[in-house]
Amino acid sequence: MSSLQIKTKILSDHHHPRSWLTRFAATCLCPVHIAEFSIPFQVARVFGLKSTQMKLKEGSFLWYLYLDKLYCLLSVRNVKALVEYFHLLDVHRNNTLNDVLFYHFLHHVTNLKRRQIMIVFNMLDWNAMGEIAFDQFYMLVCILLAQQNHLEEQFIFRHSRPVFELLDLDGEMKIGPENFHMYNFLFNIKKQELRELYSDFDVTGDCRLNYKEFKLFTIFTMDKYQEMKKAEKEKEKEREDSA
């Protein structure tokens, strides 16, 4: 990321009392979720360029974390375990992970290649500090688990603002096609969906989406996802009745 992009991003965040990462991380500790997410540990596609599907390695730490299917967040118990895990990875005791530690973490828990891992690191390290804190780490883990459990649509819908600001590399509050192409592997948005996104939701006609347009896309995608799940359940019920 260029220095101009960094400055633009910082100026953009200046208008928000709390950054997207702070807002996202704060959600997991909201009192409303504490009772809802008291769920015991359970055995639980982000990244992969076109030909590679991201998979968590069986037996790795993330394999045993549970992601709530409704809110796409971790339980309080799992967050506590993740904090401890983060501290174990933080061998320098800086409360951050540099690119080397980050690479070894993702290499250990996923099948991602070095290039893919560094793309993810650079996306999270938007201010070019060369390290990420727990807030970014927590969001990454939620994204990984959402992909692993095929909850991409649900995750984007529930966390549309953080996702939008992740993709808004220039801090202009707009997302162009190049943003999606660069991180197309991140939320598994298919080519056809990408074409529909800009043909159906680019209301302003400038080939870039503002947040309201992106939000409309997430609502539409979520509706399609729910209809698909409903159809699958009906087919399954028909098979059971005919058996």
CB 57 within 8 A of CB 124: no
Residue 165 has pLDDT above 80, yes or no: yes
Distances (CA, A) of 200 to 85, 180, 194, 213: 43, 16, 10, 9
- Portion of the chain with pLDDT greater than 90, in percent: 39
Distances (CA, A) of 29 to 73, 78, 84, 85: 10, 12, 16, 18
Number of C-beta neighbours around residue 38 at 10 A:
10
- DSSP SS3 for 98: strand
Q: Which residue has the higher pLDDT, 103 or 31?
A: 103
Residue 55 has pLDDT above 80, yes or no: yes
Taking residues 167-196, report their average pLDDT.
78
Rg (CA), the chain: 18
**Average pLDDT, whole number, for the chain?**
78
Q: Which residue has the higher pLDDT, 85 or 167?
A: 85
Tens of pLDDT, residue by residue over 86-119, are 999 999 999 999 999 999 999 999 988 898 899 8
For the CA atoms of 207, 46, 150, 171, the dihedral, rounded to the nearest 10 degrees, stands at -40
Tens of pLDDT, residue by residue over 125-154, are 988 899 999 999 999 999 999 989 989 889
Global model pTM greater than 0.75:
no
